[in-house]
């Protein structure tokens, strides 16, 4: 290989490594709870408007946060909705967007998302800020589907592909068959109660065959059935109606297909047997069946040992986790509240006071928190969420809260959707109670911190089901005596262990870091009266001593924040270049393997280029 070829190859390698080195890092909050195998369209800021608005179909959209425990549990239900309604896609489609992703946050704000998960039905041909957004409660799959059917019917669409979900008032036989398109090969009619969903669901299940198959629904009408010589003895029932005024009841009792409702299966069999529609049993039927079986067979394995080993290795908390959680809480969680007034305003002030008194933060962060509190207190009549966002976004040289989107450290899970923000909130809660004990000789208001925590969770915590459960866990809070110095610390420790006990083995539990009673014997053997009984038997004196050590200011690792770039330098850099910058300490930066290869390649290129140039000079001077 010639020297010029080597030089060219090195330049290509240099370009490859430098492009990887300076590429924007993949943030954990960009994780989606869904993937391409799910029957759900994954939305992001870039494709949201072009997908949803002016669409030919309606859209059911779930707005969720990937850190939200209830959202993670609900994902299986939403997948079921996606499977159940796959055949409805000519009328309505199913989608989801992760509001935790920074780029998606404005979309969620614009659609009035205040808690997770939020489900909205958006009508066809919708126009942003003009069309009505229909809220649907995030309950079980069948109830969501029924509510969706009800709302779709209320839209009264006249599109040719849109089924007539409203019961027909039939007076004569001609009313049924008088105006059918020439493409129609079969007409079905459901006789059912007005509130029954069977007929409407079947209409949607077969909606893509709207040119060949017409389905009506009606209540029992004596006049019509007398003309047809029929007596209705049971409902719901479905009939095939022919132009020669003959009617045939479709038998649904013999259907054995458990993946669809028995009417669907019976109708498909009837159509296939009589060759009314050639592709009635298309690939979509098999796809629904396979997806259904896959969803039912999902299982997960827990790896308890890896959790215990991790706790042994990571004894220090990380200030990165605290500051990242505080930034998200103040700039994203609290700002979702439309009006911060009355009880909600009082809860915000109380929470900010507790943070300024007991959070063991860096000096500029504490200055920032005190400034935020002062500006909120300057508006005693309350403020809006957007007004609070302006307050929370301020940064000065002496007072700032980083918003670097740095990955969680102590609270990192085995996958980005695990632990993270909720974990960081828990360690913040515990750290505040320990800080109070260590800062104050006598505690006059032992309930100050737990009450402030409860107020924050009740009014601002985005996971609505988690918030409800936390309020149940702390319902006795105002009835307790707080005279004991360690009362708040012990109370929050007990509440956390109660939550862990309830959530252990839930499907949203991190499989590598399952929820255990804290601290486990692997971290504090003396904390357990009987080490063999790891779940319930605690030595309170040893446990209190451990908690005071573990959540103490001295046990917080500052290495990743102490050497971070000054906030003003960051703002200047951001103004000059829109490239995403992730701030890390110099030690961790130079430990990057990509940077190592980059530096080596630079040296090689310089040396080879120098020798190459020298050889050319010698050749030309001979």
* Burial annotation 215-224 (CB, 10 A radius, 16+ → b, else e): bbbbbebeeb
Copy the structure tokens of residue 165.
């979900």
- CATH classification at residue 224: 3.40.30.10
DSSP E strands: which ranges in 101-235?
A: 118-122, 133-136, 186-191, 213-218
Please check whether residue 541 lies inside any domain of the structure. no
What's the confidence (pLDDT) of residue 440? 84
Short-list 608, 614, 615, 593, CA closest to 10 = 608
Please check whether residue 621 lies inside any domain of the structure. yes
| 219 plus 128 within the same structural domain | no
Handedness of CA 340, 343, 349, 353 (dihedral sign): negative
Please check whether residue 273 lies inside any domain of the structure. yes
Is residue 570 over pLDDT 50?
A: no
What's the confidence (pLDDT) of residue 168? 78
pLDDT tens digit sequence for 473-529: 999 988 888 888 899 999 999 999 999 999 888 878 888 888 889 998 888 889 987
User: Given 154, 189, 212, which residue is the final one in a domain?
Assistant: 154
Give the separation between CA 283 and CA 208, rounded to whole angstroms: 13
| 202 plus 228 within the same structural domain | yes
| 362 plus 488 within the same structural domain | yes
Phi-psi category of 419—alpha, beta or left, where left has phi over 0 and alpha has psi -120 to 50?
left
| 180 plus 224 within the same structural domain | yes
| 144 plus 205 within the same structural domain | no
Please check whether residue 527 lies inside any domain of the structure. no
Which tops the pLDDT comparison, 306 or 398?
A: 398
Average pLDDT over residues 465-469: 94
Among 52-56, 180-184, 348-352, the range of highest mean pLDDT: 348-352
**H or E element at residue 386:** helix 385-392
Give the separation between CA 266 and CA 271, rounded to whole angstroms: 9
| 320 plus 404 within the same structural domain | yes
| 245 plus 394 within the same structural domain | no
Q: Give DSSP secondary structure letters for 361-384.
A: --HHHHHHHHHHHHHHHT-TT-EE
What's the confidence (pLDDT) of residue 337? 94
Which tops the pLDDT comparison, 331 or 36?
A: 331
Return mean pLDDT, the chain. 81
pLDDT band at 164 (very low <50, low <70, confident <90, very high): confident
Domain interval for residue 220: 173-284
What's the confidence (pLDDT) of residue 175? 63
- CATH classification at residue 397: 1.20.120.310
Among 176-190, 370-384, 520-534, 593-607, the range of highest mean pLDDT: 370-384
Average pLDDT over residues 318-334: 95
What's the confidence (pLDDT) of residue 398? 92
Please check whether residue 564 lies inside any domain of the structure. no
Please check whether residue 451 lies inside any domain of the structure. yes
| 147 plus 33 within the same structural domain | yes
pLDDT tens digit sequence for 213-248: 989 888 766 666 666 566 666 778 888 888 777 788
Give the separation between CA 234 and CA 160, rounded to whole angstroms: 31
Short-list 608, 536, 617, CA closest to 5 = 608
Lowest mean pLDDT: which of 38-52, 61-75, 307-321, 554-568?
Answer: 307-321
Among 22-26, 295-299, 373-377, the range of highest mean pLDDT: 373-377
| 400 plus 498 within the same structural domain | yes
Average pLDDT over residues 453-471: 95
* Burial annotation 232-254 (CB, 10 A radius, 16+ → b, else e): eeeebbbbbbeeeeeeeebebee
Other C-beta atoms closer than 10 Å to the C-beta of 226 total: 10
Please check whether residue 563 lies inside any domain of the structure. no
Is residue 311 over pLDDT 80?
A: no
Q: At what angle do helices 448-460 and 487-503 cross, to 10 degrees?
A: 40
Spatial contact of 91 and 525, defined as CB atoms under 8 Å apart: no
User: Given 254, 284, 314, which residue is the final one in a domain?
Assistant: 284
Is residue 195 over pLDDT 80?
A: yes
What's the confidence (pLDDT) of residue 56? 92
Bond preceding residue 236 cis, omega within 30 of 0:
yes
Which tops the pLDDT comparison, 444 or 540?
A: 540
What's the confidence (pLDDT) of residue 161? 78
| 332 plus 411 within the same structural domain | yes
Is residue 3 over pLDDT 60?
A: no
| 272 plus 242 within the same structural domain | yes
Other C-beta atoms closer than 10 Å to the C-beta of 327 total: 19
Q: Give DSSP secondary structure letters for 583-603.
A: ---HHHHTT-HHHHHHHHHHH
| 11 plus 33 within the same structural domain | no
Copy the structure tokens of residue 248.
């045939």
What length does the chain have?
A: 622
pLDDT band at 28 (very low <50, low <70, confident <90, very high): very low
Q: Which residues contact 211 (CB under 8 A, 6 or more apart)?
A: 181, 183, 184
Count of domains in the chain?
4
């Amino acid at each position: 290989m010639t020297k010029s070829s080597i030089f060219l190859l090195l330049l290509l390698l240099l370009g490859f490594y430098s492009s990887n080195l300076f590429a924007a890092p993949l943030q954990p909050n960009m994780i989606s709870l869904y993937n391409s195998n799910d029957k759900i369209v994954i939305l992001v800021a870039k494709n949201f408007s072009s997908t949803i608005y002016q669409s030919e179909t309606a859209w059911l959209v779930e707005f969720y946060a990937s850190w939200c425990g209830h959202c993670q549990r609900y994902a299986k239900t939403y997948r079921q909705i996606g499977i159940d309604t796959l055949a409805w896609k000519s009328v309505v489609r199913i989608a989801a967007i992760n509001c935790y992703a920074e780029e998606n946050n404005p979309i969620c704000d614009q659609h009035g998302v205040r808690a997770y998960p939020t489900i909205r039905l958006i009508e066809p041909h919708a126009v942003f800020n003009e069309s009505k957004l229909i809220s649907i409660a995030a309950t079980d799959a069948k109830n969501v589907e029924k509510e969706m059917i009800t709302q779709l019917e209320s839209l009264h669409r006249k599109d040719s592909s849109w089924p007539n979900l409203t019961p027909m008032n039939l007076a004569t036989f001609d009313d049924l068959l008088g105006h059918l398109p020439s493409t129609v090969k079969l007409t079905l009619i459901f006789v059912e109660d007005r509130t029954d969903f069977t007929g409407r669901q079947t209409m949607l299940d077969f909606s893509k065959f709207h040119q060949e198959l017409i389905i009506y629904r009606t209540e029992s009408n004596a006049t019509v059935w007398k003309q047809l010589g029929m007596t209705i003895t049971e409902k719901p029932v479905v009939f095939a109606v022919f132009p020669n005024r003959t009617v045939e009841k479709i038998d649904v009792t013999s259907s054995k297909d458990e993946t669809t409702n028995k009417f669907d299966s019976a109708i498909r069999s009837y159509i296939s047997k009589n060759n009314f529609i050639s592709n009635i049993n298309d690939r979509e039927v098999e796809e629904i069946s396979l997806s259904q079986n896959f969803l039912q067979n999902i299982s997960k394995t827990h790896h308890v040992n890896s959790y215990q080993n991790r706790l042994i290795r990571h004894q220090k908390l990380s200030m990165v986790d605290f500051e990242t959680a505080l930034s998200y809480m103040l700039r994203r969680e609290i700002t979702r509240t439309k009006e911060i007034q009355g009880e909600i305003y009082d809860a915000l002030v109380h929470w900010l006071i507790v943070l300024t008194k007991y959070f063991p933060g860096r000096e500029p962060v504490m200055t920032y928190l005190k400034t935020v509190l002062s500006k909120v207190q300057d508006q005693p009549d309350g403020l809006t969420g957007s007004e609070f966002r302006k307050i929370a976004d301020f940064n000065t040289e002496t007072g700032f809260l980083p918003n670097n989107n740095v990955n969680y450290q102590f609270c990192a899970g085995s996958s980005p959707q695990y632990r993270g923000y909720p974990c960081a909130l828990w360690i913040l809660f515990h750290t505040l109670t320990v800080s109070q004990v260590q800062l104050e000789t006598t505690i006059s208001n032992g309930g100050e911190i737990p009450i402030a925590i409860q107020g924050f969770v009740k009014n601002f915590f985005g996971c609505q089901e988690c918030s409800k459960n936390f309020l149940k866990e702390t319902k006795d809070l105002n009835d307790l005596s707080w005279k004991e110095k360690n009362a708040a610390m012990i109370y929050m420790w007990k509440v956390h262990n109660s939550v862990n006990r309830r959530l252990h083995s839930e499907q949203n539990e991190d499989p590598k870091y399952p929820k255990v009673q804290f601290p486990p014997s692997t971290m504090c053997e003396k904390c357990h009266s009987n080490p063999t009984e790891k779940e319930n038997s605690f030595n309170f004196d040893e446990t209190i001593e451990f908690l005071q050590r573990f959540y103490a200011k001295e046990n917080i690792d500052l290495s990743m924040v102490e050497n971070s770039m000054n906030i003003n330098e960051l703002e200047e850099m951001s103004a000059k270049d829109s490239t995403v910058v992730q701030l890390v300490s110099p030690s961790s930066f130079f430990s990057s393997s990509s940077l190592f290869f980059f530096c080596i390649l630079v040296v090689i290129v310089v040396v080879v280029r120098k020798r190459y140039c020298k050889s050319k000079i010698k050749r030309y001077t001979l």
